[in-house]
């Protein structure tokens, strides 16, 4: 197991994934970074994007995260995600409808705070669609 990294993906609701992998690519706020066994300890914020779990040169699992934090130690990666959805569960038509609804929420917002929150949701949904 010395050549593997223990990886846990946690959302606010539950533990979503707990596996050992050769490499995990994470969408850090400063750019994507790969975590392999022996990685230097670090903490990073995440931007919306894909976490890719590799075995050899093959992606075994691909999960969209809306943001959050990643903590790396020698042989462990823990991601605390604001929202996480496996790519095979993302449906373009449903996302496009959610984007349309969020755009209407921006237009209907009564306060600057509500408008900013709705706009953040629009931006997040656009990033999910781009990632597809």
Q: What is the pTM assigned to this prediction?
A: 0.73
First to last CA, the chain: 33
Query: Band of the pLDDT at 132, cuts 50, 70, 90?
Result: low
Mean per-residue pLDDT over the chain, rounded: 88
> Where is 23: in which H helix or E strand?
strand 23-28
Overall average pLDDT of the 29-50 stretch: 93
Q: Which two tokens stand for residue 49?
A: 């994007």
- At 92 the pLDDT is 73
Query: What percentage of the chain carries pLDDT values higher than 90?
Result: 45
| pLDDT exceeds 80 at position 49 | yes
The whole-number pLDDT of residue 56 equals 85
Taking CB atoms within 8 Å and a gap of at least 24, the contacts of 114-121 are none
Cα distance between residue 15 and residue 109, in whole Å: 34
Better-predicted residue by pLDDT, 99 or 19: 19
How many CB atoms are closer than 10 A to CB 29?
Answer: 12
Q: Are 26 and 69 in contact (CB under 8 A)?
A: no
Give the largest Cα separation in the chain, rounded. Answer: 55
In the three-class reduction of DSSP (H, G, I as helix; E, B as strand; rest coil), residue 97 is classed as helix
Listed by start position, the domains of the chain span: 5-87, 91-131
CATH number among 4.10.520.10, 3.30.465.10, 3.90.110.10, 2.60.15.10, domain 5-87: 2.60.15.10
Each residue of 94-129: pLDDT tens digit?
A: 777 888 888 888 888 889 998 888 888 888 778 777
């Amino acid at each position: 197991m010395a050549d593997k990294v223990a990886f846990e993906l946690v959302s606010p609701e539950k533990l979503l994934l707990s596996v050992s992998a050769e490499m995990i690519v994470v969408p850090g706020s400063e750019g994507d970074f790969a975590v392999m066994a022996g990685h230097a300890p670090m903490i990073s914020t995440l931007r919306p994007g894909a976490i890719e779990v590799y075995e050899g040169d093959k992606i075994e699992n691909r999960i969209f995260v809306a943001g959050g934090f990643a903590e790396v130690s020698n042989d462990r990666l823990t991601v605390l995600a604001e929202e996480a959805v496996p790519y095979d569960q993302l449906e373009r038509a449903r996302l496009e409808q959610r984007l349309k609804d969020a755009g209407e929420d921006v237009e209907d917002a009564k306060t600057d705070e509500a408008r900013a929150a709705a706009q953040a949701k629009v931006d997040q949904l656009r990033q999910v669609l781009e990632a597809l």
